[in-house]
C-alpha cells in the first residue's frame, strides 16, 4: 500500500474494531476527499437494531449531505454488498478501496460494470478479523448478507 | 389496481404526502408481508439532514430486523434508485410495486436483471406529486439523485 492508502484503510480497520468491541459486526469504512477523511463509520446493525446500518451506510450518514461525491473515495474493510454498492453508484462515488473480499465477494462486478474503480488490498488483517466473526456468529452474518 | 394493491399504494402515497407536509421530498414506501403492512416510511433526507434516508430505506428501518424478506413486497410511490434497489437485492425482496417512473427511471433494469419482479402502476397521482416537487425544488431533487 502507499502511505495514504495505508492511513485510510487503517482508519477503516479502527472503525471495524470499534464495532467489534461494541458487540457488532467488525466492518468499518471511511470516506475520503482531497486527502482527508470526511466521514467514518462502522456496521451498527446489532448495536442499533437497525437492518440498514452497514459500515458504508453509517460512514455516508456521518459524512452528511456533502453535495457532489465525484472526488471521493470510499474505503471499506470488506467488499461492499449490493446495498452499499448501490449507494456508491447512486451517489456517484468513483473509487472504492476494500480491505478484502475473501470472506464475501459482495457486489464487485456490479460496481465495475457501473464504472466504479475497485481496488482490493487483500489484507490478512481484515480477512482474519472477518473470518473469526463469521465463525463465531454465523447467524448474525447470514442476517447481515440477507441469507436467512 | 386490485383492491390490495390499491390499499398498499394508498398507504405509500399517504407517507409521501406526510413527507411533503414536513417540507421533504414526497416519496413514500411500505413493506408488505402476508397481506399486512410491516413497515412504512418516507424520504426524510431534508428533515433529518441525512443523505441516506430515502423512502424505501426509511421503510426498511422502520420494519426492523424481520429476518427473511423472501415473502415481502416493497411498495414505493417512485421507481427505486440504485441505493434502494441495492437494498431490495441484498435483502432478498422479490417484488417491487411502484406508483410511477415517469419522473425518474431509477434502477428498474438492474432490479429486473437481479430477478426482482417490478410492477409499475403508472399512476397520475404519484407522477403529478413528484413533477410538482421537482419543478419547485430542482436543486433538492438533483441532490437526491446524486446529480450535483
* pLDDT tens digits for range A104-146: 999 999 999 999 999 999 999 999 999 999 999 998 888 888 7
Q: Are A99 and A125 in contact (CB under 8 A)?
A: yes
Read off φ and ψ for residue B50, nearest 5 degrees.
-130, 115
| Interval B93-143: pLDDT, tens | 999 999 999 999 999 999 999 999 999 999 999 999 999 999 999 988 888
Active site residue B22: no
Provide the residue range defining the domain that includes B108.
Answer: 7-145
Q: How far apart are CA B120 and CA B96, in angstroms?
A: 9
Q: How many domains does chain A have?
A: 1
Q: Select from B3, B25, B16 the least CA-distant residue to B139.
A: B25
Residues of A with catalytic annotation? 56
Taking the CA of residue A125 and the nearest CA in chain B, the distance in Å comes to 26
Determine contact: A141 vs chain B, CB below 8 A.
no
Mutation for testing the B interface, residue in A27, A45, A47, A52 having most B CBs under 10 Å? A52
Which residue from A60, A82, A89 is facing B90, i.e. has the nearest CB? A82
- Domain containing A62 — which CATH number? 3.40.140.10
Q: How far apart are CA A110 and CA A86, in angstroms?
A: 9
Q: Are A89 and B82 in contact (CB under 8 A)?
A: yes
Q: Which residues of B touch A86 (CB under 8 A)?
A: 81-87, 89-90, 107
Segments of chain A scoring below 70 in pLDDT = 1, 4
Determine contact: B55 vs chain A, CB below 8 A.
no
The pLDDT, as a whole number, for residue B1 is 61
Taking the CA of residue B93 and the nearest CA in chain A, the distance in Å comes to 9
B1 inside domain = no
A1 inside domain = no
B121 inside domain = yes
| Interval B57-93: pLDDT, tens | 999 999 999 999 999 999 999 999 999 999 999 999 9
Q: What is the ipTM of this complex?
A: 0.94
A132 inside domain = yes
Q: How far apart are CA B3 and CA B90, in angstroms?
A: 29
Amino acid at each position: 500500500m502507499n502511505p495514504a492508502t495505508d492511513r485510510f484503510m487503517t482508519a477503516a480497520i479502527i472503525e471495524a474494531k470499534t464495532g467489534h468491541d461494541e458487540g457488532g459486526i467488525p466492518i468499518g469504512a471511511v470516506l475520503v476527499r482531497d486527502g482527508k477523511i470526511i466521514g467514518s463509520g462502522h456496521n451498527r446493525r446489532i448495536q442499533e437494531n437497525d437492518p440498514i446500518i452497514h459500515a458504508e451506510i453509517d460512514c455516508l450518514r456521518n459524512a452528511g449531505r456533502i453535495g457532489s461525491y465525484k472526488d471521493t473515495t470510499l474505503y471499506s474493510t470488506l467488499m461492499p454488498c449490493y446495498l452499499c454498492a448501490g449507494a456508491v453508484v447512486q451517489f456517484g462515488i468513483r473509487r472504492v478501496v476494500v480491505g478484502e473480499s475473501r470472506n464475501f465477494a459482495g457486489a464487485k462486478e456490479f460496481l465495475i460494470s457501473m464504472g466504479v474503480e475497485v481496488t482490493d488490498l487483500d489484507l490478512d488483517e481484515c480477512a482474519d478479523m472477518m473470518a473469526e466473526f463469521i465463525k463465531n456468529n454465523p447467524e448474525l452474518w447470514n442476517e447481515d448478507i440477507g441469507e436467512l
